[in-house]
Amino acid sequence: MLNRLEGQQKERLKNIISDHLKSTNVYGQVRSFVRDFLESEEGMDINEDKLLTTLHEKRVVEEVLNSLGREHGNQLSHSSTPTSALAKKAGGKFLHVRLKKGRGFVDHLHDASCLRLHAFFFIMMASSQRHASKPVPCDVEPNFDDTFLFHLPGNSDRPVSALSSPIHMVVTQQGSDDRLEIIGTQEIEWRKVLVSGRLSIDVELMGLSGDSTVAVGLLGLQLELLPKSHNLLADEVSLEQVIKAERESLLEHERRFFNSAKIWWKEFLQIRPEHGNRMVKIFARFVSLIEFSRMQPLGSGRGDVEEHAILLCNLLLGFRFEAYCVIGTTLAGDPHMWVATLERDLELNKIKVTFWESLTGSRYSHGGSDSPSVHKYGKIGCVFNHESFYANVQPDDSVRSCSFDLNNMSHWKAMDSAAVREIRRRKHVPELSYYPLSTHMMEEVLEQSLRDLISKRRGINGLATHWDEELCQLLSPALTAYEAERVYGSASGLADFQQSIRNAVPDDFSFKGFPIQFCHLSAPRMLEDLLRAKAAAEIVSLQGGVDRVRFAVRSHVVVYPERVCAVWVMLAVVYARLED
């Protein structure tokens, strides 16, 4: 940046920096260090590189850089930091969290597939605040160095010490194929900082799979209350009493729930003995899945069918749908979970039921024209959401004959809703974050990567590949229409696309195209999937010179919250028809 400044501007900036370093005695400190260094190395070969290396090792250079912002206090320990000033200006209390270097991530010592580590912080308070750290290279000691500011809601009626929401921390790794995988998570009781105003802790991250009792790594955190005050917000004894009371209350709620659930389960089995074979999942899995799995897809960008269904159900509930997760089986008898929404017509005394398949986004009308041959759902064991749980007690539990009048006790056995609500749930869930991404650049990079991979593959087989730029342009409207059809249920523009292709294809030539949608941006993985499809494999292996075969590839990227992308790709070819 310095090279882009004009001569006078450059000199002025140098003078400002020099004056500041003199006024803060940084020059004197550096001179003193250099003098001591020269005395200790007397009689030895000394060069500039060795001196600079020692300056870095002794953190002298870092101190010089820090001093440039010290009057604004960019270090957490300074009371007049920009963060502190911001906190004073905004009003209220804030929790300043500094993420320091990690240790003990031994699984990544020789993991060549891991490229980057991310740290996500979730704190469930009044505004459902979320932060994500900058990505750092995977290493045994990842050099996290980031800070976050959380607002602490509180007033005279409800002190800060009464905020029982913990900080939920998730660390993910991103591999060479762009997949995110959660490697560790932990909840942090941050309120201990209220006693001292500042606290340093080491957090053990626990894995989600395998032996979840073994830490996958250690992260250092520094917590500080801002703006600083001599009046502490809590004393140690009273805070421990508050935390202990909360823990005991939680255990009591869980004890009452499990006792109620056992009685409910016994009554459910007494209705019909065969109910023991139905897909009715309750107890720990039911409770914990709602709580934790809502966050896993947000952290890793992927999840199993249960996590997809629960996330979709929560989104629909947020839009005031009467939505339930449905646990049952497919027509093939495999366990499955999907979502059902109920629309009640009180005048006609009817209930319109819509099934939502979370893995595809498809919707089916129950009891309408969508027969079991259209969807794949076979039987229904139970339905639930965040407030209720119903087990299917109808003699025939098939989807075809199922009644969704949940208030009919002869059809559905409800668990005590008060017992369900008592189970600990966070009052605030993380808001979905939208990240502005340059889709145009993403599309260009993806298309070029696919071109290179296809050309290389054909070259191995002795086939030349000629790309038709005009044909590539003509594919765009179709991809836009495909995404619109997935979102709105209908597509416009396909007729225009078909007409433009007919106009562009010469006589005695044919057009063949293969569209496909992905949820990732990895070109190698895309090519693997393309080659598994017969139509796409035929396009890639088509023979002919530039005057007889011309290829095209086009992509369309649509960005949704949480960096989730719908990636449409069309592989196409125009080729000369064989003469009869």
User: What's residue 535's pLDDT?
Assistant: 94
User: What's residue 101's pLDDT?
Assistant: 83
Indicate the range of 70-84, 226-240, 374-388, 483-497 predicted with least confidence.
Answer: 70-84
Q: Is the pLDDT of residue 59 over 70?
A: no
Count of Cβ atoms closer than 10 Å to residue 135 Cβ: 16
Residue 568: strand, helix, or coil: strand
User: What's residue 390's pLDDT?
Assistant: 92
Q: Tell me the pLDDT tens digit for each residue of 234-290.
A: 788 888 888 888 888 888 887 887 787 777 777 777 776 665 655 444 332 232 233
Element (H, E) at 176: none
pLDDT band at 194 (very low <50, low <70, confident <90, very high): confident
Q: How far apart are CA 164 and CA 191, in angstroms?
A: 8
User: What's residue 73's pLDDT?
Assistant: 33
CB distance 471 to 574 below 8 Å:
yes
What is the DSSP secondary structure assignment for residue 398, as one 8-state letter? B
Query: CA dist 216 to 123, 208, 219, 405, 491, Å?
Result: 22, 10, 10, 47, 48
Alpha-carbon Rg of the chain, whole angstroms? 31
Six-digit token pair at 190?
A: 């941050």
The more confident residue out of 358 and 272 is 358
User: What's residue 71's pLDDT?
Assistant: 40
Task: Find the mean pLDDT for residues 63-87.
Answer: 44
User: What's residue 132's pLDDT?
Assistant: 78
User: What's residue 570's pLDDT?
Assistant: 96
User: What's residue 3's pLDDT?
Assistant: 45
Report residue 453: phi and psi, to 5°.
Answer: -65, -45
User: What's residue 324's pLDDT?
Assistant: 95
Task: Find the mean pLDDT for residues 434-455.
Answer: 88
Q: How far apart are CA 509 and CA 13, in angstroms?
A: 66
Task: Find the mean pLDDT for residues 67-79.
Answer: 37
Task: Find the mean pLDDT for residues 306-321.
Answer: 84
**Which amino acid is present at 99?**
L
Q: How far apart are CA 350 and CA 344, in angstroms?
A: 6
Q: According to the per-residue pLDDT averaged within each range, which of 46-55, 120-129, 292-301, 336-345 is highest?
A: 336-345
Mean pLDDT of the chain: 76
Domain ranges across the chain: 2-68, 82-234, 249-422, 439-576
User: What's residue 150's pLDDT?
Assistant: 84
* % the chain with pLDDT above 70: 68
Nearest to 93 by CA among 18, 163, 140: 163
Indicate the range of 27-36, 254-263, 348-357, 436-445 predicted with least confidence.
Answer: 27-36
Dihedral, CA of residue 393, residue 396, residue 398 and residue 400, to nearest 10: -110
User: What's residue 424's pLDDT?
Assistant: 57
**CATH topology (fold) of 439-576:** Pathogenesis-related Protein p14a (3.40.33)
Q: How far apart are CA 472 and CA 573, in angstroms?
A: 10
Residue the block writes with tokens 């007409």? 499
User: What's residue 566's pLDDT?
Assistant: 86
Q: Is the pLDDT of residue 68 over 50?
A: no
pLDDT band at 291 (very low <50, low <70, confident <90, very high): very low
Task: Find the mean pLDDT for residues 302-311.
Answer: 77
Nearest to 326 by CA among 402, 266, 410: 402
CATH of domain 249-422: 3.10.620
Query: CA dist 119 to 179, 182, 192, 569, Å?
Result: 15, 10, 22, 31
pLDDT band at 448 (very low <50, low <70, confident <90, very high): very high
Q: Is the pLDDT of residue 392 over 80?
A: yes
Nearest to 313 by CA among 354, 358, 279: 358
Q: Is the pLDDT of residue 356 over 80?
A: yes
Indicate the range of 185-194, 256-265, 379-388 predicted with least confidence.
Answer: 256-265
The more confident residue out of 364 and 452 is 452
Task: Find the mean pLDDT for residues 68-76.
Answer: 37
Task: Find the mean pLDDT for residues 187-201.
Answer: 87
Q: According to the per-residue pLDDT averaged within each range, which of 55-69, 335-349, 411-425 is highest?
A: 335-349
Q: Tell me the pLDDT tens digit for each residue of 171-186.
A: 887 766 666 777 888 8
CB distance 192 to 138 below 8 Å:
no
Q: Is the pLDDT of residue 352 over 50?
A: yes
Q: Is the pLDDT of residue 340 over 90?
A: yes
**CATH topology (fold) of 82-234:** Immunoglobulin-like (2.60.40)
pLDDT band at 395 (very low <50, low <70, confident <90, very high): confident
Strand spans (E) along 180-259: 180-188, 198-206, 215-226
Q: How far apart are CA 509 and CA 502, in angstroms?
A: 10
Q: Tell me the pLDDT tens digit for each residue of 512-557.
A: 999 999 988 889 999 999 999 999 999 999 988 778 899 999 999 9
pLDDT band at 416 (very low <50, low <70, confident <90, very high): confident
